[in-house]
Amino acid sequence: MNEDQEEIQERQEGEKQFVLAAYSSDEAWISSSHPNRIHRRLDLPINDEDHDDDRCSDASISLDLTLTMPQDGYPVKDDSILEVDATIARKQSSTTTSTTTTSATKNNMAYRKVALDVIPLLVDTCRETAKECAGQESVFAVLSRADEWVDQEWQALSTSHLSENNSQNSTNKVLNDGTTRGNQSEELILGRRLIYSHHIIAKSKRKNLIDLSHSLSLGGYVKIGWPGIIIIEGLNENCIEFIHEIKSWRWQYLVVRGEETEHINVVEQKGDEMNELDKRRKFANTYMEELGEDQMSHLAEICRTVELEELFMTSMKKYQNENNDIVNQTDVEGTSPEDQMYGTLIHVDHMNDKRAYQKWIQKSCDQIGCSCIIRQCFPNDDESTRPWILVAIWGGKASVKNMMKKWRTSKVDIDSKGKPCHERMMHIIMDDYLCPARSQQESPLISNKGMESKYTIKNLCSLLNSVGGSPWRDAFIDYFMKNDTGR
């Protein structure tokens, strides 16, 4: 370790020790998975007249401010600046919504919407402070500026954002005859949505989905992998806010395909409104649960069990018409490029560092958002010959193309002298959209772990048919027949 790196680590450690000494463990902490990341919990005060004193803490809104110290030069180098981000913090209890009144819940949600809108202003403010402190320790300055923002600017921003909404809400409460509605009854709307995505792979996005659903008390499931399926259930306005928030994230393709609402007229004593809504939930959970890449059928079974099969079927563009017949929308509209998978089948001549090479392909596909399998076989089951190595990659066309570009320009293997080298002996067997019948189905979820297994040509053809259909199988057979020299 050189002197610069020692100084960087020493000064970063000093800032972390300052944070641990200056704040309690509930106020600030160091990430266990990212030792150079600092978390600061910021509580945003709200004015909630419907809560008595012992419930005020439940009505508060908290932010998780994260400060990441770049390891390549912070705080020594001027161009290595403290990284800042912020999100609404996950609630500590999933029962809070059920114990609060409807009016209090709506007030809390109004403030939460304001918080979502103004978080970018907080982040920009903190990032500007970090830039001003470039070349020196910035953590204390950024945390101090964040505290000032909460004490001063948050109050002004929340008041400004809410004043117009409160005025509109007051108008809406007046009936046509000029009298007010009063508190004889409340109407809640239980909402459900099914959201389809090309893929959900990134760990950060998966965590943010869980956190957001938790903060909005939305139950449901997220099926990761290809395709990505999100089903949410809860207060309808929370469903709308959830969709509004995630649509601001980067997605290759994201669309709401299914929607259900259920109106609940509550005439019971005040305080029971949200309990009544919770009783109507189909899903037992009040926050989102993650399902694995191979659990599409499990999600279908869950929906079928709770009588939400019709909602689940919308993930495949199947909708029920007024005669209760299932209609496939793609039969009418055709399959759009966004919904159709693209695939590439590659023959790789050899892998000198087989383990590292496979790991690179799998990790790169995960990062870019593609699925892949790597398989080898020995013609005529003769293991004394050089094996055939096939790599199949599929996903969105842009993702597959980006993966291939990265593959061709990266040093992925080692040469005969043990030095890193580029791949110069790959051949593209098939490169095209998968047939519509394939692309509308769930993507083949086949484990990447299997290159060491013994595959015959017949078994390999069967595998390729399950991934890319007959075009892949036939293209491989034709290629194999032309290039198998009995080696």
pLDDT tens track for 113-124: 788 888 888 998
The answer as to whether 182 is a domain residue is no
Q: How far is residue 452 CA from its own chain's centroid?
A: 32
Q: What is the pLDDT, as a whole number, of residue 66? A: 94
> Distance between CA atoms of 411 and 364, rounded to whole angstroms?
13
Is pLDDT above 50 for 243? yes
The domain that holds 70 is classified in CATH as 3.10.110
In this structure, the answer to whether residues 309 and 373 fall within a common structural domain is no
- Taking the C-alpha atoms of residue 89 and residue 156, their distance in angstroms, rounded to an integer, is 21
Examine the domain organization and report whether 218 and 144 are in the same domain: no
Q: Which among 361, 236, 218, 224 is positioned nearest to 286, based on CA atoms?
A: 218
Are residues 252 and 365 located together in one domain of the fold? no
Do 155 and 272 share a domain, yes or no? no
CA distances from 325 to 262, 319, 322, 351, 437 (A): 22, 8, 7, 53, 21
- Residue 74 maps to a domain: yes
Q: Are strands 186-197 and 254-266 parallel, antiparallel or unpaired?
A: antiparallel
Tokens linked to 148: 């000032």
Which residues are CB-neighbours of 291 under 8 A, at least 6 positions away?
221, 222, 223, 224, 298, 299
Q: Does the residue 312 lie in any domain?
A: yes
Residue 175: inside a domain: no
Domain boundary pick from 301, 333, 365? 333
Q: What is the pLDDT of residue 173?
A: 45
Note whether residue 181 is domain-resident. Answer: no
Residue 190, phi then psi, degrees to nearest 5: -85, 125
List, in sequence order, every residue forming a beta bridge with 374; answer none if it has no partner: 391
Residues 7 and 148 in one domain: yes
Sign, CA dihedral 466-472-477-481, equals negative
**pLDDT given for residue 121 in this prediction:** 87
Domain boundary among 333, 359, 378: 333
When mean pLDDT is compared over 316-320, 366-370, 451-455, the highest value belongs to 366-370
Q: What is the CATH number of the domain that holds 458?
A: 3.30.70.100
User: Do 146 and 121 share a structural domain?
Assistant: yes
Both 363 and 326 in one domain: the answer is no
pLDDT score, position 440: 39
Q: Bigger pLDDT: 156 or 22?
A: 22
Which amino acid is present at 192? R
The verdict on 296 and 412 lying in the same domain is: no
| Residues 317 and 347 reside in one and the same domain | no
251 part of a folded domain = yes
The verdict on 297 and 375 lying in the same domain is no
pLDDT (0 to 100) of residue 88: 84
Asked whether residue 474 falls in the same domain as residue 400, the answer is yes
Domain boundary among the residues 286, 311, 333 is at 333
Q: What percent of the chain has pLDDT over 90?
A: 23
| 85 and 234 housed in the same domain | no
**243 falls within a domain:** yes
Domain limits at 51?
Answer: 3-169
Asked if residue 180 is part of any domain, the answer here is no
Tell me what the mean pLDDT of segment 176-186 comes to.
45
Number of domains comprising the chain: 3
